[in-house]
């Protein structure tokens, strides 16, 4: 929903109902990720996409029905459907969507959610999507508060605990619990849509390669910081795509920065007096990806220097150096693509092989467990 929030907010403010279809689970090579959303307004306008064009027509019809009746729907489309080609899902996979009516009466906290997203504050919406009466009930929650109920205190308590865990990780997922919140029971499905602040990409070194990395980092959805101790080079004019440009020594800035498991750190200085001190801090942080630029000779010299200051093999093995995947990159822009590819591969778990040579599903990130079959679709 984050992607279409600016377009649907005026409808809400004008008290004009609309329906939102949200991808709640995917199996195999579904074309759009969980959380992708499409809104349908009263005049039939479609905003956003849930399948890259595959099933938009069928979802549009279902959304118009929800707008007419006000009754939420949980629908699935996939290759097991005899009518798969008629709804357009020819690329394989299965997607499950929850379609609900949104207006001031049905979702009074909607503006609070929008405001939190715009201010980059963590907020989540947990919605009951199947398995009980009261489908469409929701809880809006932050790390330390909540409003709404799914029906009973036991269920609310269990969902809040699980949803806050997902919110802390920035993860959107469908939870399965019992009617009273029982664990290891899957009678109810609750879709938890997390809106966390964007993950942080920190780029050290105000060089031309850093400008390209900042540009592609912004394109990937990161909050991008460029840091360099040289005010002559660390300027907003040279890095217009960065969210912030910091003039400071890297090893002084990093301890003050917000770093978590989603943080990406790219050290592009390839100068020992800059990169070794900051890498010592980075490799002992929670950052999910740490890469450093340099030739293979620079890399081996860097490893020796890191060992000399007491870094362990386990810490050093976290370092991606020389940074990026070998795609034959030469220009700053090509190098940025190489670095971005390695970041994605590290986070999602790619094989780094050409897709034509693989046998695994192309889209690896799915909220369905390996043991859980895709739903039957009619």
In a shared domain, residues 54 and 165: no
Which of 50, 78, 107 is at the close of a domain? 107
Mean pLDDT, range 21-50, rounded to an integer: 86
Domain count, the chain: 3
In a shared domain, residues 276 and 309: yes
Provide the CATH number for the domain around residue 318: 3.40.50.720
Q: Write the pLDDT tens digit of every residue in 206-219.
A: 999 999 999 999 99
In a shared domain, residues 319 and 210: yes
Residue 364 lies in a domain: no
Give the per-residue pLDDT at 82: 47
Residue 136 lies in a domain: yes
Give the per-residue pLDDT at 59: 92
Q: In whole numbers, what is the pLDDT of the chain averaged over residues?
A: 87
In a shared domain, residues 226 and 336: yes
Residues whose CB falls within 8 Å of the CB of residue 172, separated by 6 or more in sequence, listed in order? 34, 35, 166, 191, 192, 193, 194, 367
Residue 41 main-chain phi, psi, to 5 deg: -90, 175
- The C-alpha atoms of residue 341 and residue 324 are separated, in whole angstroms, by 7
Residue 356 lies in a domain: no
Residue 374 lies in a domain: no
Residue 358 lies in a domain: no
In a shared domain, residues 182 and 207: no
In a shared domain, residues 189 and 305: no
In a shared domain, residues 205 and 326: yes
- The C-alpha atoms of residue 343 and residue 350 are separated, in whole angstroms, by 10
Q: Write the pLDDT tens digit of every residue in 218-277.
A: 998 899 999 999 999 999 999 999 999 999 999 999 999 989 888 999 999 878 888 999
In a shared domain, residues 301 and 229: yes
In a shared domain, residues 239 and 304: yes
Mean pLDDT, range 122-126, rounded to an integer: 95
Q: Where in the sequence is the domain holding 149, given as residue range(s)?
A: 111-197
| Residue whose entry in the numeric block shows the structure tokens 């649907």 | 8
């Amino acid at each position: 929903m984050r992607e279409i929030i600016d377009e649907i907010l005026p409808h809400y403010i004008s008290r004009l109902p609309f329906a939102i279809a949200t991808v709640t689970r995917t199996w195999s090579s579904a074309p759009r990720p969980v959380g992708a959303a499409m809104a349908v307004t009263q005049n039939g306008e479609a905003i956003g996409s849930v399948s890259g064009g595959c099933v938009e027509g069928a979802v549009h019809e279902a959304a118009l029905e929800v707008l007419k009746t006000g009754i939420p729907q949980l629908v699935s489309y996939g290759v097991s459907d005899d009518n798969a080609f008629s709804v357009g899902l020819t690329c394989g996979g299965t997607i499950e969507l929850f379609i609900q009516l949104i207006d001031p009466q049905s979702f009074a906290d909607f503006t609070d959610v929008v405001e939190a997203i715009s201010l980059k504050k963590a907020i989540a919406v947990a919605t009951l999507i199947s398995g009980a009466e009261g489908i469409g009930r929701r809880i809006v929650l932050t790390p330390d508060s909540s409003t709404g109920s799914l029906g009973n205190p036991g269920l609310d308590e269990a969902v809040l605990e699980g949803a806050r865990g997902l919110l802390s990780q920035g993860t959107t997922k469908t939870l399965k619990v019992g009617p009273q919140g029982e664990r290891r029971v899957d009678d109810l499905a609750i879709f938890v849509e997390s809106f966390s602040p964007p993950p942080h990409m920190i780029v050290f070194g105000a060089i031309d390669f850093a400008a390209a990395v900042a540009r592609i980092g912004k394109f990937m959805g990161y909050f991008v910081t460029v840091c360099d101790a040289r005010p002559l080079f660390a300027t907003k004019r040279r890095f217009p795509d960065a969210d912030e440009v910091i003039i400071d020594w890297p090893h002084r800035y990093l301890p003050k920065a917000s770093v978590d498991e989603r943080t990406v750190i790219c050290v592009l200085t390839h100068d020992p007096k800059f990169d070794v001190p900051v890498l010592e801090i980075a490799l002992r942080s929670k950052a999910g990806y740490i890469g450093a630029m340099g030739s293979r000779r620079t890399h081996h010299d860097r490893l020796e220097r890191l060992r000399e200051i007491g870094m362990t093999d386990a810490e050093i093995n976290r370092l991606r150096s020389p940074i990026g995947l070998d795609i034959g990159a030469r220009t700053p822009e090509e190098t940025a693509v190489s670095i971005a590819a390695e970041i994605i591969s590290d986070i999602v778990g790619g094989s780094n092989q050409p897709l034509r040579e693989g046998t695994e599903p192309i889209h690896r990130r799915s909220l369905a467990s390996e043991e859980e079959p895709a739903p039957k679709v009619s």
